[in-house]
Amino acid sequence: MTESIEELCRGARAGDFSAASELVAATYQPIYAYLRRLCGHDETAADLTQQTFASVWRSLQNFDGRASFMTWLHRIAHNVYVDWRRKGNRLDAQSDDWWETCAVDQPSPFDRTAERDAAHLLYAAVEQLEEAQRVTVHLHYYQGLTLQETADALNIATSTVKYRLRNALDSLKARMAEPKLRV
């Protein structure tokens, strides 16, 4: 998959429109999911995705291949999201229903109802984290990037990623241990 994305990227850089179209088809879903989870609104996430890929086409010639294309793409999406936040936009709180509806067409990954409820509480707790920790958790756990890729996407050191994740897990563990949230 990674090699094919890199090949498509090279084709798009060479001006192959079909390669660019395939590249969009292969990468737009995780980017949209990332932005949707962060901003909490469908249309906003779609707009941010459009801005992300517009920026990709503008900067595609500058892509030097030192990081993977997906990492580079996440970095652009993160910058677009940060610009959007700087304009004063607020986050929409994720409701439990959204977590239900977002996976309505797919089989639930949770085997038990109790586990599903705990997961919903956990995801809600993630949205309550500090912004830097929240973004880091999204990239590493939700988007499945490695520590190095997360660090490259956020343009920070790997040790900083580890530090943020450690703090995030501690915070989540503490919140999940609270009586009201305990399952």
Partner 1 sequence: MNEQTIEKLLQKAPPVRTPAGLRKDLQANIELPRCATTHHGPRITNHVFRRWLPTLGFALWFLGCVVVFGLQASRIAELKRANESRQSSLASVEQNQAVQDRAQWLAKELEQLRKDAADVQRLRAEAELLRAQAQEVATLREQNQQLRAELKSQATPPPKPEEDFIYETANRRARTKCINNLKQVGLAARLWAHETKTDAMPNRWSDMIDHLGGPERALKYVGCPGVAPYEILSFGAPETDPTVVFVRCVAHNIVGLVDGSVQQLGDKASVIQKDGKWVFTRVAE
- Counting residues that bind partner 1 (by CB under 8 A) gives 51
DSSP string, 99-131: HHHHTTTS--S-SSHHHHHHHHHHHHHHHTS-H
Q: Cβ distance 142 to 37 under 8 Å?
A: yes
Sign of the CA dihedral with 101 first, then 104, 107, and 113 last: positive
Instruction: Select the span of 1-9, 78-86, 146-154, 170-178 touching partner 1 (CB under 8 A).
Output: 170-178
The rounded distance, in Å, linking the Cα atoms of 153 and 155 is 6
Binder of partner 1 out of 5, 102, 124, 132 (CB under 8 A) = 102
Instruction: Select the span of 29-37, 69-77, 81-89, 128-136 touching partner 1 (CB under 8 A).
Output: 29-37
Binding site for partner 1 (CB under 8 A): 12-15, 17, 20-21, 24-25, 28-29, 32-33, 36-37, 42, 46, 49-50, 53-54, 57-58, 60-61, 99, 101-106, 108-110, 115, 118-119, 122-123, 126, 137, 141-142, 144, 169, 172-173, 176-177, 183
